[in-house]
Amino acid sequence: MNQDIQFLKELQQELKNQDSDGQAAPRFWTVGDYEWVEARAENAERYSVYLPYIAEAYALDDYLEDLKEDSELSKEALTELKNDDFDNPIEWIQKYIDEEAELIPERKVHIVRPDTMFLTKAEAKAHIKLNRHHYTSEAHTYAMTAWRAPKVERLLKILETFDWDSIKDNQYIL
């Protein structure tokens, strides 16, 4: 029981002293990150190429660079690719790789990663560091407000204000 009380006292200090990141109480932290989503052509920040024959999509620029190292391409195809001797990359891909290939316009959007919820910013940071293989290099802590959640608000208020020293060891026996 003493360890639990000590944990709650330390958590209380952390909750009271951590940066709010501009979020109103009751606040919690999640993992914010970015992902590429399909967009209208006029809003595209990049293009990906979709290859139906393998049901895969790749960022166009990265895909073209990777192909330059591909020894399975014909000499003609490789020469055209290395010399940028084509008008339109999708036409080159359709000619040499997959005739049904298509370009997909994309833009980068901010997302809140699912299944993440932390009471403290420090715990969220530690989680990102320990689990960085699940996130992009742009992953970051993201504060949110538990809006209109009275039980969450009450619980966090208790955690932040309760006098844990008022609890005697023998007062609460489980």
* Domain match, 98 and 156 both: no
How do residues 47-70 score in pLDDT, each as one tens digit? 999 999 999 999 999 999 999 887
* Domain match, 43 and 25 both: no
* Domain match, 69 and 129 both: no
Q: Of 107, 133, 156, at which residue does a domain stop?
A: 107
> Please, which residues have CB within 8 angstroms of residue 123's CB and are 6 or more apart in sequence?
29
Q: Of 107, 126, 143, at which residue does a domain stop?
A: 107
On the question of pLDDT at 24 being above 70, the answer is yes
Encoded tokens for 32: 């914010």
Whole-angstrom CA distances from 132 to 45, 46, 127, 128 are 25, 24, 8, 5
Q: Of 88, 107, 126, at which residue does a domain stop?
A: 107
Number of domains in the chain: 2
Residue in 106, 97, 19, 95 with CA at minimum distance from that of residue 53:
97
Q: Which domain holds residue 77?
A: 38-107
How do residues 115-159 score in pLDDT, each as one tens digit? 999 999 999 999 999 999 999 999 999 999 999 999 999 999 999
Q: According to the model, what pLDDT value does residue 172 have?
A: 57
Q: Specify the 3-state DSSP secondary structure of 8.
A: helix
Residue where the block lists tokens 């639990």: 4
Q: Indicate yes or no: pTM above 0.75.
A: yes
* Domain match, 57 and 8 both: no
* Domain match, 44 and 25 both: no
